[in-house]
Amino acid sequence: MVQIARERISALFALAEREAGGGHRDLADRYVVLARRIGTRYNVRLLPEYRELYCRGCSAYWLEGVTVRTRLRSGRRSRTCLRCGRVRRTPLGDRAAGVPSAGAPTLRAAPRSDVALVGAPTEEEPTERPDDEAEEG
Ligand SMILES: [Zn+2]
């Protein structure tokens, strides 16, 4: 059940990203609300990469420059929600936010196929024609 909840949350955030990009910000916000509700219902934490994407105050899906304003100041990154005004501050530095999630898929290198040499050059042998025709005497 927890696994299903995680998949649904991922799907909802993918939908939210798509709708926000398409201009349907109300739909994107709605998907964030649903994703958060699923997380609450099944006690599933949202991935850190998802938690960066919305406002914790009003569940608005954050689009940089549209619904959120990001400022870097005195070693901190403050993101202000332009809908409800809530500010979220995260420290900058070597332990800054945006840590890659442990569940991120890793790229797997394709096995390299060695090319075999085909059609090695063969020397054409001159065919000897034995002279086996005996002369009749
Ligand atoms: Zn907000």
Closest by CA position to 59, among listed 17, 87, 31: 31
Q: Any bridge partners for residue 61, and if so which? A: 54
> How is residue 67 written in tokens?
């619904």
Interval between CA 81 and ligand 1 midpoint (Å): 5
Q: Any bridge partners for residue 70, and if so which? A: 79
> How is residue 50 written in tokens?
């998802």
> How is residue 9 written in tokens?
């949350």
Rounded to whole angstroms, the Cα distance separating 96 from 122 reads 65
pLDDT, tens digit, for every residue of 8-29? 999 999 999 999 888 898 999 9
Interval between CA 99 and ligand 1 midpoint (Å): 23
pLDDT, tens digit, for every residue of 50-95? 999 999 999 999 998 889 999 998 899 999 999 999 999 999 876 5
- The type of residue at 46 is L
Interval between CA 53 and ligand 1 midpoint (Å): 11
Interval between CA 30 and ligand 1 midpoint (Å): 13
Interval between CA 94 and ligand 1 midpoint (Å): 27
